[in-house]
């Protein structure tokens, strides 16, 4: 298939490699140097677009894809406060929007593990829950989109937690998410339950960006047969 790339940074380049390996072509690459090429004419030459840019540009890019009638897969994080507006526009234009805060299959298994562990821990208030996430120093948003997805499940399942805060010291009904920015780390997420007598911890640690890039290409392939607002749950059939 013909895949357009919006964003040609660390992820865009990794996605290009995997898309070509899987037999796709890349007729369009847009980054901050050529935003003028984001025209309906150029977009309609693509079967789908994969967007990995920045929180400030993501929504504008999605809207351009909806207007052009081209399915858009995006992994950009930090724009979710505008999710309602994006979903509305997608529905109005009968478009296709596949978003994942994390495209790695392993992380999506970890999301399910997080939910299952939280269900077990919901009846054990003697355990205090907290989360840490570690990423490379160029990452713009904190906490990570993946950490927010994990936190949303915890808030839904754990009766004592009402909201999350990106700091170490929090109120009893808040979930602490601690963000660290270190070197070249692609992403580590840990959820810890600690009581007076022991500690239970689950961790997902990405070794490189390949897993994210492969998931994004699989999502673009999925958009050929599926329409509407899509997620990794649809792709992985959880």
Sequence length of the chain is 238
Binding of ligand NAP at residue 31 (CB under 6 A)? yes
Q: Which pair of structure tokens corresponds to residue 44? A: 């309609």
Distance CA 148, CA 102 (A): 11
Binding of ligand NAP at residue 143 (CB under 6 A)? no
Binding of ligand NAP at residue 4 (CB under 6 A)? no
CB closer to ligand NAP, 24 vs 209: 209
CB closer to ligand NAP, 32 vs 224: 32
> What is the size of the binding site for ligand NAP (CB under 6 A)?
25
Name the catalytic one among 13, 87, 139, 210: 139
Answer yes or no: 139 catalytic: yes
Binding of ligand NAP at residue 101 (CB under 6 A)? yes
CB closer to ligand NAP, 17 vs 124: 17
Q: Which of 29, 54, 170, 229 binds ligand NAP (CB under 6 A)?
A: 54
CB of 11 to ligand NAP, least distance (A): 3
Whether residue 97 contacts residue 72, with contact meaning beta carbons closer than 8 Å, is answered with: yes
> Could you identify the residue written with the tokens 């329409």?
227
Q: Which of 1, 35, 115, 165 binds ligand NAP (CB under 6 A)?
A: 35
Q: Find the part of the chain contacting ligand NAP (CB under 6 A) among 52-60, 150-158, 191-199, 220-228.
A: 52-60
Applying CB under 6 A, the residues found at the interface with ligand NAP are: 6-12, 30-33, 35, 52-54, 57, 75-78, 100-103, 212
Q: Which residues are tagged catalytic?
A: 135, 139
């Amino acid at each position: 298939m013909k895949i357009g790339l919006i964003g040609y940074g660390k992820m865009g380049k990794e996605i290009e490699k995997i898309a070509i390996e899987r037999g796709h072509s890349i007729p369009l690459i847009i980054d901050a140097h050529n935003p003028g090429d984001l025209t309906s004419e150029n977009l309609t030459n693509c079967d789908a677009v994969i967007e990995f840019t920045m929180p400030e540009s993501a929504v504008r890019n999605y809207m351009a894809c909806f207007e052009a009638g081209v399915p858009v897969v995006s992994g950009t994080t930090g724009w979710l406060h505008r999710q309602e507006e994006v979903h509305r526009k997608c529905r109005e234009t009968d478009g296709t929007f596949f978003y994942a805060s994390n495209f790695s299959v392993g992380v999506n298994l970890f999301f399910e593990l997080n939910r299952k562990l939280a269900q077990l821990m919901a009846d054990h208030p003697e355990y205090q829950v907290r989360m840490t996430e570690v990423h490379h120093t160029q990452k713009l948003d904190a906490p990570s989109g993946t950490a927010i997805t994990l936190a949303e499940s915890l808030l839904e399942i754990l009766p004592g937690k009402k909201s999350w805060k990106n700091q170490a010291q929090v109120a009893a009904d808040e979930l602490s998410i601690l963000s660290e920015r270190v070197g070249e780390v692609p992403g580590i997420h840990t959820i810890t339950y600690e009581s007076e007598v022991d500690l239970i911890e689950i961790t997902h640690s990405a070794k490189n960006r390949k897993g994210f890039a492969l998931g994004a290409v699989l999502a673009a392939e999925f958009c050929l047969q599926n329409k509407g607002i899509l997620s990794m749950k649809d792709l992985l059939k959880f």
